[in-house]
Each structure stands twice: as C-alpha cells, then as structure tokens.
Amino acid sequence: MESTRNFQTNGDIPLKKIYTSDDVADIDYERDVGASGEPPYTRGLYPEMYRNRPWSIRQFTGHGTPEETNEWFKYEYEHGETGFSVAFDVPTESGIDSDDPRADADVGVGGVACDSVKDLEVIFDGLPIDKVSTSLVAGTLSTCQITAMYFALAEKRGISPKEIRGTGGTDMISDQVCMHHMDQIPPQHQLKLCVDLTEWSCKYAPRWLSVNFDSYNHRESGVTAAQELAFLFINLIGYTEEALKRGNVTIDELAPCYAYNMALDMDFFEEIAKLRAARRMLYKILKERFGAKDPRSWRFRVHVQTAGSTHTLQQPLNNVVRVAYEVMAAALGGAQSVHANSYDEAVCLPTEESLLLALRTQQVAQLETNVTNVVDPLGGSYYVEWLTNEVEKGAWQYLEKIEQAGGLVKIIESGWAYNEFTKAMVGHQKRIESGERKIVGINCFVGKTEPFPGKIFRPNPRAGEIQAEKLRELRQERDNQQAQNALDQVRRDTEAGNNVMPAVMEAAKAYCTIGEMCSIWRDIYGIWRLPVVR
Amino acid sequence: MNQEKGPIRVLIAIPGFDGHWKGAMTVTMALRDAGAEVIYAGTQTPRSIAEIAIQEDVDVIGLSIFSGGYMKLIPQTIDALHAKKADDILVILGGIIPPDDIPKLKELGVDEIFLPGGKTQDITDYVNENAGLKRKHHSITG
C-alpha cells in the first residue's frame, strides 16, 4: 500500500518515492555536472579531492585568556588537528576592549579575549602558522584589526605575507543581522571597511582569504538550505559590486581571496545537494555575472560547521551520532574544511573530553570509512542530481527575492532580513512543537530527565580582570606617542575615505588595541541602531 | 493574556554582549501570539535592562542567555532591579545553562528557568499564571 505521508526535505522540497533517469533527463553532463576540478565544479573543486588531501580538521576554539587558548590549540594540534580556527570572545568581535566597564562578564567566555597583537602572539605561541592555515573568526567591525594583527605577528616570525595562509573576515549579514553585537556602525560604512580589507589584502597577501562569506548563523536561525545559499551569495554580490565600483582591483584579483563557510544541518541528502549546488552557483555568479576568467575565482572553497542548533540538551549523547552524520554529509558534499561540534553544545563550551571526541569523529570518518577514496561518490545518483537542481532552483528564486528587496545593504537597513529570519525562527520552533519535525528526545522518544553525563566546562571567571590588567601594562609599556600617531593616521584615512588598511596595519604594529581602533570608526560613522521590530 | 488591568507587559532582553537572539525572539513572538505586550530590547547591559523595565512598567522580564558569563550577568541584572526597588517584577530566564546551576540562579532571585528543548507553551502558561502575582503580594504586604 502506498504511504499517504507527506514526504519532503527539511527545506520543504516535496519528494517522490523513487527517482529515475526521467528526473534527470534535462541534465547535460558536461554543462551541469562535469568532471571534478572542472567547471561547473558540481563534483568537487579539485580533480583528486580527498585522495590528495582530506578535508582540514579545523575545530573552532577559544577559551578564556590567550594563554589558555594557546594550551587548547596545542592540545588539538597534538591530537591531529590540521587547521586552526580562532573563536574570539564577543567583546573582541564587537571591537570593544576587555577593560570596557560593560565587558567584564563576557571577557573570555564565548571565545578568547584578544585586545592587541600581544594577545595574538600568545595565542599562537609555539604553533606552526607557517605550515598550518588559520581561520580568524573575528566580527565584521574588528576584522580589519584582527587580520592586521595576524599579519604583524607573521612578519615578526619572518613569514612573508605572500606565503601566509588562512581565512579572515566575516560576513555582514552574519554580524549585523544574525548576531546583534553592541556598538556596531551603519551597514554601508561597514561594507566600505570590509572592501578596504579585501582590496588591500588581495595584493599584500594573495594567498590569504580575506573575506569569509559565512552563512552558518543564517542557517542556525531556521532558514532552509536554499535560503542559506541565497543569503550567502547576496553577501558576495554586495561586496563584489562595491569593490568593482571602486575600480582598484579586478575580479580575478578579488575572487581568489574569497572563502565560504556554511552550516551542515541534519537533512543528509539535502545538505549534500546544497554543497554541490553551491559550487555550481558560485561558478555561474563569478563567471557570468562578474566576468571572472581565472579558475581560482570560480572555486567555492568551503568550510562547514556541523549545526549547533541540531543538538539537544536532552539525551545529549545522541548529539555524537548527529555530528557523525553531519560530518559524513560534509565529506560526501566535498567540503574543504570541517568543524565538528562537541556533544555538549547545548550546555557549555567543549571540555577536553568532548572536544577530543569531536576530533576523533572526523578522524574515524577520514581514515576508517573509505569515503575519501572516490571523488563525489553520490554524483550520478538520480536522486542527488535531481535534488541538487531543486536546491539550486530554490536558491536562485530566493536570491531574486532578496535582490528585489534591495540587495545587501538595503535588506539590513530596512529590517527586511530581520523579518525573514524572525519568520524562520518562529516557523522552526512551531514545526518542532507540532511534531512535524521529529527530534529524538524532544518530541519523540522522550525519556526521563537524567543528569548531564559529562563534565561541564566552566569559563575562567577572572579572564576579564586578567585582560584588564594586561591592558593597563600595555598602555604603560608601549610607545604611546607612536601609538597615538598611528591612531591619528587611522582617523585621517577614515575621514578622507582612503583605504584604511595600511594605517590599521601600522596601528596594530604599534600595539594599539582593538577598542582604540574601532572607537575611531564609531566616532566618525556613529553607532547604528538595529531596525528590530519592538 | 489579559489581566484586569490590561494585557501582561513583558520585557525580553539579552544581558551582556552576546548577540544570539533566536531564543529571545522566539519567546517574544510566542508571548505576543498569546496576547502579551512584549518589548524586545535585544542585547543590553544589566543596568539598562532594569531601566527599560521600569520605564515600560513591565510585569515580567524574560532574560535570554547564551553567554557563559551568566553567573555575573544574572546577579548584576537582579541587583540592578533591586537597586531600583523593582523586585516585584517576575524574572524568567532561558538559554544555555548547565542544569547544575539552576538552584543557585533561583536562589539569586530568578523565578523560573527554561532550558533548550522546552515548549514555548510552557513559558506562556507560566507567564500567564505568575505575572503580577509578585506585585499583588508586594502591594498586600506593603
């Protein structure tokens, strides 16, 4: 008997019981799929994919003071991590120093505190940043400073900026819509500064991926896979249009310095289809819309993070299983780099034990399951090829809707993006509460409440005090005249509308703090009020 | 969600710097749907939360916490309310909180705590039943 249930993906794509050649009859293999390493990159960015190099195991980490975080990175590196990813605390992300009177409770609790280049030196002490790439997950406002500090650190270590590898920057929708950071500046000025960074960095440090278009937080709000893609690409379109309008760089200087970051949620095949569709869409956007000719511009270099919102506080060991499926989907989707969440995500930051388990989850997938042996093993599946098309179709449609709403800056300023995310948040919760979206331990197979089985990570309650003391010393020890001169130059260049990065670079080297530098921008541009419906 | 003196008024805020707002907004919308008047204030310092609560004359404050700094931020918020003699406002809390810390937070003055995986209905029911109770009690005893 045929089931009468309504089968669909988490992104509401209706599903048939079986897919056949009829469903992919419109696909032209060369045009729509192609070989791995060849446009449109549906099957993967590189010809050999994981046969040459498996995805980077890059755990997003930041705990307490720079000294503590350095210990964490050493621990991860010793246990086989192959890329670093720094989680900064929210004051740092917001461009606010640890000694700001409002900051104490948040210093070092959701990431590491980093006030000046001195802190970054400590975070990377003894770590081989010449060999291992680093992702600096700074906030949009502080991203110029954090990147400048990292380059200053590299310079001190004698690493040429031409060689330094990693990812900086972040995404305006992520930081101005999906996160509500304090004391941010208006979106059009934020865009100007982000483009300054990319424009400068693609010449100064061409192997550095200066902008990380990051839709992780978008997806965590509850939007669909297709909407996630559209929000990701509207950011890219906004940045690129702004940079090309200025005319200082070509698209083929710019786009090879872009990186991408997505969430990996629970709908296994839809997520794989999403990553395949993303590569094809990026190729089309860069080639057809922006006229990029260099294949490096066309490549969707993607880091994925398993979705924290799929974790449950109830029956938390189930999260280990969820993460393993999500990592497997990332592998089958051809990601370049993966962060696996720890199973205690719904309770606290990871402990050493839960972090190690997440690391081992990735290593088991890479070394024991043989999924790395064959490129794009699901390519050619009637279902996966059809679903890749469907996700892509939905993403183009939603992207058009975003563009009709005014594009990147407009959808932030007008509140349109907030309303879309709010709708998604409420819809997501309703589906869980109605039982339409099944979650084991939440709306089915609910057991009795058990105490949390693992250790609980406790943040260092003294981190704020320690960082404030370090700042006091820094302001005594540094050459304050040099620091002031450097800050004055940042102010002059900002006021004149020049590219701020050369001045920010000098200020970072002169041990100016993130708060000192970002305050100049707040003075000049003003603090922006979020257009949230009250 | 109507009492004799009109709809229940709720302030939803996120104390501290952390910008995760999904929980706060989901609860805001659920309370609005249930008929409450909700002021969504987003990220705020503990002191501004107390100030807004008084200006807006709310019956309930809903705090959403994602920051590991809650053991500082929650007491600071409660203290700020106390300093403004606003102890009669019902304070509820939700977010990423290790269950072990619940007794301590309640002792500090949080009336109820809602953890991930719960239903918004539990929150709206609780607010419906308890909003104003503290105030009445306050007015009776003096």
Q: Is the pLDDT of residue B137 over 50?
A: no
Query: What single letter denotes the amino acid at residue A91?
Result: P
Q: Which CATH number does A21-434 carry?
A: 3.20.20.240
Which two tokens mark A23? Answer: 């469903």
A440 by DSSP, 3-state: which?
Answer: strand
pLDDT at A534: 44
Q: Is the pLDDT of residue A431 over 90?
A: yes
Chain B residues touching chain A at CB-CB below 8 Å:
14, 16-22, 25-26, 29-30, 39-43, 45, 66-73, 76, 96-100, 115-117, 119-121
Q: Note the pLDDT tens digit of each residue in A301-317.
A: 999 999 999 999 999 99
**Residue A221 is nearest to which of B18, B22, B45, comparing CB atoms?**
B22
**Which position has the token pair 């310095």?**
A257
Residue A258, strand partner residues: A211
- Report the chain B residue with the minimal C-alpha distance to residue A459: B68
**Mutual angle of helices A225-246 and A268-284, in 10-degree steps:** 20
pLDDT at A179: 87
Alpha carbon of B64: minimum distance to chain A alpha carbons (Å):
13
Average confidence score pLDDT of chain A: 96
**Which position has the token pair 């089958």?**
A332
Compute, in degrees rounded to 10, the torsion defined by CA atoms A303, A340, A432, A332.
60
Q: Considering only CB atoms, which chain A residues are within 8 Å of B40?
A: 532-534
* Mean pLDDT score, A16-34: 97
* Mean pLDDT score, A360-383: 98
**Mutual angle of helices B22-33 and B120-130, in 10-degree steps:** 60
What is the bridge-based pairing of β-strands B6-7 and B2-3? Answer: antiparallel
- Report the chain A residue with the minimal C-alpha distance to residue B38: A534
Q: Note the pLDDT tens digit of each residue in A180-208.
A: 888 999 999 999 999 999 999 999 999 99
Q: Residue A169: which of A243, A103, A280 has the closest Cα? A: A243
Q: Residue A139: which of B23, B74, B62, B43 has the closest Cα? A: B43
Tell if the CB–CB gap between B117 and A312 is shorter than 8 Å: yes
CATH topology of domain B2-120+128-141: Rossmann fold (3.40.50)
Q: Is the pLDDT of residue A4 over 80?
A: no
**Mutual angle of helices A352-368 and A318-333, in 10-degree steps:** 40
What is the bridge-based pairing of β-strands B9-15 and A258-264? Answer: unpaired
**pLDDT category, B132, cuts 50, 70, 90?**
confident
- Report the chain B residue with the minimal C-alpha distance to residue A441: B117
Q: Is the pLDDT of residue A126 over 60?
A: yes
* Mean pLDDT score, A92-104: 96
Distance CA A101, CA A5 (A): 56
Q: Is the pLDDT of residue B80 over 60?
A: yes
State the complex-level ipTM: 0.94
Q: Mind spelling out the 3-state secondary structure of A219-285? A: HHCCCCHHHHHHHHHHHHHHHHHHHHHHCCCCHHHHHHHEEEEEEECCCHHHHHHHHHHHHHHHHHH
Cβ atoms of A8 and A431 within 8 Å: the answer is no
Distance CA A469, CA A464 (A): 9
pLDDT at A408: 97
pLDDT at A75: 97
Tell if the CB–CB gap between B68 and A533 is shorter than 8 Å: no
**pLDDT category, B3, cuts 50, 70, 90?**
low
Distance CA A350, CA A380 (A): 39
Q: Residue A94: which of A528, A534, A504, A414 has the closest Cα? A: A528
Q: Considering only CB atoms, which chain B residues are within 8 Å of A530?
A: 42
Distance CA A268, CA A325 (A): 7
Q: Note the pLDDT tens digit of each residue in A227-285.
A: 999 999 999 999 999 999 999 999 999 999 999 999 999 999 999 999 999 999 999 99
